[in-house]
C-alpha cells in the first residue's frame, strides 16, 4: 500500500469564489461553514464566495476564511472515503492539519485561527513590516545575508519554501537591504503583498496572549502523523505538537524540510487540500524528478473527480 499526505495551504492561497462548488454540492460543507460563522460571528461564506478580494485578504478575515475552506475540502475527501496517513500545513495551514490529524476539533481550529489573525493584525498596526521572497539562493546563503543586516535592525528568515525560494521578514528598510545584497549575488527579490512581518520579532507582542489561548485548547493524541513547521520533522505526541504550535507564530516555517521528511517516509501521493496551487507548485520544485510521486490539488469538483478516478 502506498502512503498519502494531506497538505493544507495558508495565507496567499485565497481567491474570491473559493469553496463555492463544494458548498453547493455537499451538505457537510454547508455545516462546516455554518459552524465557522457561528464560532467567529462573521459571514464567511459571503466573504469567500463574493469577496471583495480587498476584504478577503485582510488577515483578520483571511485566516478563518481559508481555514474554513481547507476544512470543507478535507470533509469532502473524507466523505468520499479517501484514506490518508500524514498531515502538514504551511503556516496558517498547519491549523487545518491539526484538525485533519484529529488533534484539535474543527470548532477549536476556527477559534484559534480567528484569534491568531486578530492578534497578528493588531501587531502589524503597531509595527510596520514587510516580506520578500528571495529566489535563487539556498538557505545558508540567505541566512548569511540576514545575519549581516540583523545587527542593524529586525530581519529574519520567515519561510524556507523550497531549495532556492526563501522568504525573509522584518522591518521594511532591513528587508530591503537584505534583498539588495541578494540581488548582488544574482538572486531575485519579490515583495509579497502582506500586511505585516509574519514569523518575525515584530509580532512577538501577540505570542503570550495567543499561547494563553492555546493552553486552554484540548490537544488530543494524533490519529495521523503530523510534520511540524517549526522543526520540519514528525510529531506524534500531543504535548510536543502543542509546544510546536506555541513557537510557530514567530519562528521560521521549515516547509522544505517538512516535504523532505515526507519523501523520506516514502510518501507516494501528495494532496493539496484547500484553495489555490501554492503548495502544488512548491512540491514540484522540491520533489526530485526521479521520485515516483503523484501530486494533486483538491479544491473544486473537477479536481476531486480526477483525484477519485485515479485513486479510489
> Looking at residues 92-117, what average pLDDT do you find?
98
Per-residue confidence (pLDDT) for residue 2, from 0 to 100: 87
- pTM score of the predicted model: 0.97
Q: Where are the alpha helices (DSSP H) in the chain?
A: 20-25, 27-40, 44-50, 53-56, 59-79, 93-100, 106-126, 139-150, 172-184, 207-216, 238-248, 255-264, 278-286, 301-311
- Each residue of 55-80: pLDDT tens digit? 999 999 999 999 999 999 999 999 99
Per-residue confidence (pLDDT) for residue 312, from 0 to 100: 78
Catalytic residue among 13, 91, 118, 162: 91
> Looking at residues 216-232, what average pLDDT do you find?
97
Give the whole-angstrom CA distance, residue 197 versus residue 191. 12
Choose the weakest-confidence range: 80-84, 137-141, 194-198, 254-258.
194-198
Does residue 199 have an active-site annotation?
Answer: yes
User: Residue 1: pLDDT above 70?
Assistant: no
- Each residue of 8-37: pLDDT tens digit? 999 999 999 999 999 999 999 999 999 999
Catalytic residue among 121, 160, 199, 200: 199
Cβ pair 19, 31 in contact under 8 A: no
Give the whole-angstrom CA distance, residue 88 versus residue 83. 15
> Looking at residues 230-257, what average pLDDT do you find?
97
> Looking at residues 279-289, what average pLDDT do you find?
97
Give the whole-angstrom CA distance, residue 178 versus residue 163. 18
Domains along the sequence of the chain with CATH: 4-125+201-311 (3.40.366.10), 128-191 (3.30.70.250)
Does residue 200 have an active-site annotation?
Answer: no
Amino acid at each position: 500500500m502506498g502512503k498519502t499526505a494531506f497538505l493544507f495551504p495558508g495565507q496567499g492561497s485565497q481567491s474570491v469564489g473559493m469553496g463555492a462548488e463544494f458548498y453547493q454540492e455537499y451538505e457537510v460543507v454547508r455545516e462546516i461553514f455554518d459552524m465557522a460563522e457561528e464560532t467567529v460571528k462573521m459571514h464567511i461564506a459571503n466573504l469567500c464566495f463574493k469577496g471583495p478580494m480587498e476584504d478577503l485578504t485582510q488577515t483578520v478575515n483571511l485566516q478563518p476564511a481559508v481555514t474554513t475552506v481547507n476544512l470543507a475540502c478535507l470533509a469532502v475527501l473524507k466523505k468520499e472515503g479517501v484514506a490518508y496517513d500524514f498531515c502538514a500545513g504551511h503556516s496558517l495551514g498547519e491549523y487545518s492539519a491539526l484538525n485533519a490529524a484529529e488533534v484539535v476539533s474543527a470548532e477549536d481550529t476556527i477559534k484559534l485561527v480567528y484569534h491568531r489573525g486578530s492578534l497578528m493584525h493588531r501587531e502589524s498596526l503597531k509595527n510596520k513590516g514587510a516580506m520578500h521572497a528571495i529566489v535563487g539562493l539556498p538557505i545558508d546563503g540567505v541566512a548569511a545575508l540576514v545575519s549581516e543586516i540583523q545587527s542593524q535592525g529586525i530581519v529574519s528568515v520567515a519561510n524556507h519554501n523550497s531549495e532556492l525560494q526563501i522568504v525573509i521578514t522584518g522591518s521594511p528598510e532591513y528587508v530591503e537591504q537584505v534583498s539588495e545584497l541578494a540581488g548582488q549575488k544574482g538572486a531575485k527579490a519579490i515583495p509579497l503583498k502582506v500586511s505585516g512581518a509574519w514569523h518575525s520579532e515584530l509580532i512577538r507582542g501577540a505570542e503570550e496572549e495567543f499561547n494563553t489561548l492555546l493552553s486552554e485548547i484540548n490537544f488530543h493524541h494524533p490519529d495521523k502523523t503530523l510534520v511540524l513547521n517549526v522543526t520540519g520533522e514528525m510529531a506524534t505526541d500531543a504535548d510536543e505538537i502543542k509546544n510546536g504550535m506555541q513557537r510557530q507564530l514567530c519562528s521560521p516555517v521549515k516547509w522544505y524540510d517538512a516535504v523532505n521528511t515526507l519523501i523520506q517516509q516514502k510518501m507516494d501521493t501528495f494532496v493539496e487540500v484547500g484553495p489555490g496551487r501554492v503548495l502544488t507548485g512548491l512540491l514540484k520544485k522540491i520533489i526530485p524528478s526521479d521520485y515516483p510521486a503523484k501530486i494533486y490539488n483538491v479544491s473544486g469538483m473537477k479536481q476531486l473527480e480526477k483525484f477519485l478516478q485515479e485513486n479510489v
